[in-house]
Amino acid sequence: MPAIRIYEVGPRDGLQTIKQIVPTRMKRTLIEALRSAGLTSIETVSFAHPLYVPQMADAEKVFDGDGAALVMNQRGMDRAVKSGVTHFNIVFSPSNEFNLRNLGCELNEALARYMVMLEGVPKANVRVYLSCFFGCPYEGDISVGKRAKAIQAAKLFGDTVVLSDTVGTGTRHEVEVGAGICDKVGIRPALHLHHRVGKEEQALSLVRKGIECGITEFDSSIGGLGGCPFVEGSPGNLSTESLVRYLGFLGHDCGVSIEDLANAKRIALKIADTQTSDTKVKISESAGI
């Protein structure tokens, strides 16, 4: 069976919805615990405008030279490069309305922006997130044509495109369709899955379908922290521990065990228990995936 790669997003996507600011030292402690657990691919920060994502205002202090950062505009890119970031995540959507609300521009303008920002950056160092790939709260169903166009655009920037179920409505058939488009375009697909409370099995069923379709990389967040703060009602992330447990059940090696994650989960739960989440954030220049 193929080895499965877990891409941990807890330190960024998991924490960005927390209203009360998590201390910088606690963020770094969480990141170190995740590394100690054996997770080698971690999105640690976002260089978003502090006005819109105040939780990430200390990105320069949190980033320690290792890991990836989400960037969405030239200012964020400049901050990231100055901080020593070499691996970048970018985001846009097959939903134009989502792009307008989330990036402040239409898709073509976003693509032109990223072309300038990422000039000289190797594609191997860029992951491209396609928000609302499986459905949009503003536009509803996304046509196959729009999905294909977005995947083709993703290939301009990175070797990996992350098909993101922002509102937790994805189906096994849609995973198969997305994987098929990626195969035709010639880009490696990954999955970023959200799920409603009590519906984690739905996300896990998409993991299984993804593996059947040849997908070997999946996002998750320790303790299930997070969700998109720029879409009201956006559900939480698939938890890393559930993903590890499920992969073990299927017989796949991911290089991490539940026991390895114990300390990181303890820190994540401490954050969740002592902080207050607020998902009703103004939709503007954002980090929503």
* Domain spans of the chain, in order of start: 5-274
Distances, alpha carbon 222 to alpha carbons 24, 130, 153, 267, 276, in Å: 18, 21, 30, 9, 17
Q: What is the pLDDT of residue 275?
A: 59
Give the residues of the chain that fall short of pLDDT 50: 229, 276-288
Encode pLDDT of 227-243 as tens digits: 654 555 556 899 999 99
Distances, alpha carbon 265 to alpha carbons 25, 168, 259, in Å: 16, 23, 10
Fold of 5-274: TIM Barrel (3.20.20)
Q: Is 214 left (phi over 0), alpha (psi -120 to 50) or beta?
A: left
Q: Which residue among the candidates 136, 182, 228, 254 is catalytic per the annotation?
A: 228
Write down the pTM of the prediction: 0.92
Please indicate whether residue 132 is annotated as part of the active site: no
